[in-house]
Amino acid sequence: MSEPIRFIFRGRRQELRGVSVQRTVLEWLREDARQTGTKEGCAEGDCGACTVVLAELPGLHTAPTTLAGTRGAQLSVRTVNACIALLPTLDGKALFTVEDLKALAGGGLHPVQQAMVEHHGSQCGFCTPGFVMSLFGVYQTNAQAPSRQALADALAGNLCRCTGYRPILDAGQAMFAPAKVDWDTAGLRAQLEALVRSDTFLYEHDGQRFWAPKSADALAEVFDAHPRARLLAGSTDVGLWVTKKLEALGDVVWVGGVGELKRVERSAERLTIGAAVALEDAYAALTALVPQLREYWLRFASPPIRHAGTLVGNVANGSPIGDSAPVLMALGAELALRKGSRRRTLRLDEFYVGYMKNRLEPGEWIEALSVPLPSPAWRFVAFKWSKRFDSDISAVAAGLAVKVEQGVVAEARLAFGGLAATVRRAAHAEAALVGQPWQEGAVRAAMAALTQDFNPLSDLRASDAARREVAANFLLKLWLQTRDQAPLSPAALSVWAART
Binding residues for other proteins restricted to 238-297, rule: CB under 8 A: 244, 246
Please report whether residue 132 would count as binding other proteins according to CB under 8 A.
yes
The piece of 112-120, 186-194, 227-235, 262-270 that touches other proteins (CB under 8 A) is: 112-120
**Euclidean distance between CA atoms 437 and 472, whole angstroms:** 18
Q: Of residues 462-481, which lie at the interface with other proteins (CB under 8 A)? A: 462-463, 466, 469-470, 473, 476-477, 480
With CB under 8 A as the contact rule, the residue among 3, 118, 182, 224 that binds other proteins is 118
CB of 190 to other proteins, least distance (A): 27
Give how many residues touch other proteins by CB under 8 A. 90
Counting contacts by CB under 8 A, is residue 81 touching other proteins? Answer: no
94 φ, ψ (degrees, to nearest 5) = -115, 135
Other CB atoms closer than 10 Å to residue 270's CB: what's the count?
Answer: 15
Binding segment for other proteins among 57-65, 117-125, 364-372, 423-431 (CB under 8 A)? 117-125
Piece of the chain touching other proteins by CB under 8 A; list 204-212, 345-353, 380-388, 437-445: 380-388
127 forms part of the interface with other proteins (CB under 8 A)? yes
Min dist CB 239 to other proteins, Å, is 12
Cβ atoms of residues 335 and 348 within 8 Å: yes
When binding is defined by CB under 8 A, the residue of 124, 353, 377, 427 that contacts other proteins is 124
Shortest distance, CB of residue 237 to other proteins, whole angstroms? 11
Among 13, 17, 71, 120, binds other proteins (CB under 8 A): 120
Per residue, what are the HEC states of the chain?
CCCCEEEEECCEEEEECCCCCCCEHHHHHHHHCCCCCCCCCCCCCCCCCCEEEEEECCCCCCCCCCCCCCCCCCCEEEEEEHHHCEHHHHCCCEEECHHHHHHHCCCCCCHHHHHHHHCCCCCCCCCHHHHHHHHHHHHHHCCCCCCHHHHHHHCCCCCCCCCCCHHHHHHHHHCCCCCCCCCCCHHHHHHHHCCCCCCCEEEEECCEEEEECCCHHHHHHHHHHCCCCEEECCCCCHHHHHHCCCCCCCCEEECCCCHHHHCEEECCCEEEEECCCEHHHHHHHHHHHCHHHHHHHHHCCCHHHHHHCEHHHHHHHCCCCCCHHHHHHHCCCEEEEEECCEEEEEEHHHCEEECCEECCCCCEEEEEEEEECCCCCEEEEEEEECCCCCCCCCCEEEEEEEEEECCEEEEEEEEEECCCCCCEECHHHHHHHCCCECCHHHHHHHHHHHHHHCCCCCCCCCCHHHHHHHHHHHHHHHHHHHCCCCCCCHHHCCCCHHHC
Asked if 97 interacts with other proteins (CB under 8 A), we say yes
Residue number, 20 or 272, with CB nearest to other proteins: 20
Specify the residue, 149 or 455, whose C-beta has the smaller distance to other proteins.
149
Residue in 36, 345, 452, 489 binding other proteins, rule: CB under 8 A: 36
Comparison of 205 and 461: residue with beta carbon closer to other proteins: 461
Cβ 404 to other proteins shortest distance, Å: 22
Q: Which is nearer to other proteins, 11 or 435 (CB)?
A: 11
Exactly one of 5, 21, 98, 335 binds other proteins (CB under 8 A); that residue is 98
Residues 335-374 that bind other proteins (CB under 8 A): none
Kindly tell me which of 165 and 176 has the beta carbon lying closer to other proteins.
165
Per-residue string for binding with other proteins, 218-237, x by CB under 8 A? --------------------
Site string for other proteins, 395-434 (x = CB under 8 A): x---------------------------------------
Distance CA 315, CA 277 (A): 12
Of 13 and 120, which CB lies nearer to other proteins in the complex structure?
120
What is the footprint of other proteins within residues 48-67 (CB under 8 A)? Answer: 49
For residue 181, state whether it binds other proteins (rule: CB under 8 A).
no
- Residue 127 CB, nearest distance to other proteins (Å)? 5
Q: Which of residues 182-221 bind other proteins (CB under 8 A)?
A: none
Choose, by CB under 8 A, the member of 104, 168, 220, 325 that binds other proteins. 168
Q: Is the Cβ–Cβ distance between 412 and 379 less than 8 Å?
A: no
What is the smallest separation between the CB atom of 246 and other proteins, expressed in angstroms?
A: 5
